[in-house]
């Protein structure tokens, strides 16, 4: 069975040979995750050409993880881009929309569906890095007065298009979160029982202003599939799903690792797509700082110039001292950065 690398090479060969239909046919036989991975190795123009030929269900899930949606969007018309955005999960849609240039955003706003426009109004107002910015508005709510049989009937009506159906949130008449019930509980309970008698009332939730890293840690700590997000009045605004939390954890970990190496994070860019000038700007500041730090070491050595001149054999130990000091510092920095990232050590522990 061909490996992913072999499949990529084969599809690229077909594209270079202008066998576009064959390349699309080969892609269509793969899982959408493999399709996205293969497309990520192509340039933006080739990606756009292939996206036009893919069927709509897989098109959305191939476009989302590409990593260079901005470049691909430049090669798609508004009429081609709108159906993709309309079919996306709300949180992914808002994240990608925010990355577009203002002129493109204005063009899209007039063409998007009313539901997508409302999603933008509801979710785009929250600051980056908060629970509100990463939450999805695709969730199911039920009234506590419904019986289990009525709940199943209601779920059949709203199930299509929902991001997750495993957890159903119970709200009162004012949309305040008062409970949660799982799909398993609904199926297993007696049909005539009311939701109010079975639901869990002590609901763990996140505030809409909570930091995204706190939300991701809460999902991992409680082993939840999704975490509800509420405002100060306990009104349910959205949910943060486990896959979104994993993305946050990956981004935060990457940021911590880059900082430990004195590199400014690349934010939305990847190493493959970032311009050389951007990579230079991300690294040069700390490189200059480290140069001045090294000059201080040179001043220290110059202070002992006479001793070194009298005992020239000491020079052979300088690389040993410098290397050992650097290695010890790197180890300490790595241990501390990782401990801070996992929450094992907090800033208050210094005092």
What is the predicted pLDDT for the residue at 86?
86
Residue the block writes with tokens 């159903």: 168
pLDDT category of residue 267 using cuts at 50, 70 and 90 = low
> Are 152 and 187 spatial neighbours (Cβ–Cβ below 8 Å)?
yes
Domain 141-241: CATH superfamily, name plus number: CBS-domain (3.10.580.10)
Spans of all domains in the chain: 4-126, 141-241, 249-350
Asked if pLDDT for residue 340 goes beyond 60, the answer is: yes
Handedness of CA 243, 244, 245, 248 (dihedral sign): positive
pLDDT category of residue 6 using cuts at 50, 70 and 90 = confident
Q: How many CA atoms lie within 13 A of 214 on its CB side?
A: 12
The two tokens of residue 214 are 């706190």
pLDDT category of residue 206 using cuts at 50, 70 and 90 = very high
Cβ density class 218-230: b for 16+ within 10 Å, e for less: bbeeeebebbbbb
What is the distance between the alpha carbons of residues 117 and 94, in angstroms, rounded to a whole number?
A: 10
* Those residues with Cβ within 8 angstroms of residue 124's Cβ, 6 or more apart along the chain or in another chain: 94, 97, 98
Asked if pLDDT for residue 66 goes beyond 60, the answer is: no
* Those residues with Cβ within 8 angstroms of residue 83's Cβ, 6 or more apart along the chain or in another chain: 56, 59
For the chain, the average pLDDT equals 82
What is the distance between the alpha carbons of residues 103 and 84, in angstroms, rounded to a whole number?
A: 19
The two tokens of residue 325 are 């000091």
The two tokens of residue 39 are 């497309």
What is the distance between the alpha carbons of residues 256 and 334, in angstroms, rounded to a whole number?
A: 9
Nearest alpha carbon to residue 96 among 65, 122, 135, 127: 65
Nearest alpha carbon to residue 179 among 197, 164, 193: 197
Handedness of CA 230, 267, 253, 36 (dihedral sign): positive
Selected from 1.25.60, 2.60.40, 3.30.530, 1.10.10, the CATH number assigned to the domain covering 4-126 reads 1.25.60
pLDDT category of residue 274 using cuts at 50, 70 and 90 = low
The two tokens of residue 245 are 């939390």
Q: Lowest mean pLDDT: which of 111-125, 189-203, 285-299?
A: 285-299
What is the distance between the alpha carbons of residues 77 and 54, in angstroms, rounded to a whole number?
A: 15
* Those residues with Cβ within 8 angstroms of residue 301's Cβ, 6 or more apart along the chain or in another chain: 308, 318
For Cα atoms 119, 121, 126, give the angle at the middle one, nearest 5 degrees: 100
For Cα atoms 313, 317, 320, give the angle at the middle one, nearest 5 degrees: 165
Asked if pLDDT for residue 268 goes beyond 60, the answer is: no
Phi, psi of 318 (to 5 degrees): -60, -50
pLDDT category of residue 271 using cuts at 50, 70 and 90 = low
Asked if pLDDT for residue 261 goes beyond 70, the answer is: no
Average pLDDT of the segment spanning 65-90: 80
Q: Between residues 328 and 236, which one has the greater pLDDT? A: 236
* Those residues with Cβ within 8 angstroms of residue 146's Cβ, 6 or more apart along the chain or in another chain: 154, 194, 195
Asked if pLDDT for residue 344 goes beyond 80, the answer is: no
Residue 179 DSSP one-character state: E
> What is the DSSP pairing of strand 206-207 with strand 226-230?
parallel
């Amino acid at each position: 069975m061909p490996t992913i690398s072999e499949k990529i090479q084969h599809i690229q060969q077909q594209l270079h040979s202008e066998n576009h239909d064959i390349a699309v046919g080969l892609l269509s036989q793969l899982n959408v995750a493999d399709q996205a991975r293969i497309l990520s190795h192509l340039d933006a123009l080739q990606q756009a050409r292939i996206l036009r030929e893919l069927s709509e269900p897989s098109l959305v899930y191939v476009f989302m993880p590409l990593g260079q949606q901005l470049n691909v969007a430049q090669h798609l018309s508004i009429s081609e881009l709108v159906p993709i955005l309309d079919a996306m999960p709300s949180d992914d849609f808002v994240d990608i929309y925010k990355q577009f240039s203002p002129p493109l955003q204005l063009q899209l706003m007039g063409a998007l569906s009313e539901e997508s426009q409302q999603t933008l109004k509801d979710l785009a107002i929250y600051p980056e890095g908060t629970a509100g910015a990463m939450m999805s508005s695709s969730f199911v709510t039920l009234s506590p007065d419904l019986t289990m049989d009525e709940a199943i009937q209601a779920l059949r009506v709203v199930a299509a298009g929902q991001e997750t159906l495993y957890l159903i949130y119970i709200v009162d008449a004012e949309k305040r979160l008062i409970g949660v019930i799982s799909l398993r509980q609904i199926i297993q309970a007696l049909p005539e029982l009311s939701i109010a008698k079975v639901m869990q009332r002590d609901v763990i939730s996140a505030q809409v202003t909570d930091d995204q890293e706190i939300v991701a840690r809460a999902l991992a700590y409680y082993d939840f599939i999704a975490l509800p997000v509420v405002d100060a009045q306990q009104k349910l605004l959205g949910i943060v799903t486990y896959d979104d939390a994993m993305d946050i954890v990956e981004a935060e970990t990457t940021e911590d690792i880059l900082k430990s190496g004195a590199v400014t994070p690349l934010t939305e860019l990847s190493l493959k797509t970032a311009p050389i000038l951007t990579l230079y700007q991300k690294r040069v500041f700390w490189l200059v700082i480290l140069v001045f730090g090294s000059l201080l070491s040179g001043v220290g050595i110059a202070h002992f110039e006479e001793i070194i001149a009298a005992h020239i054999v000491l020079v052979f130990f300088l690389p040993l001292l410098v290397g050992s000091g650097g290695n010890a510092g790197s180890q300490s920095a790595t241990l501390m950065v990782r401990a801070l990232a996992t929450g094992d050590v907090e800033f208050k522990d210094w005092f």
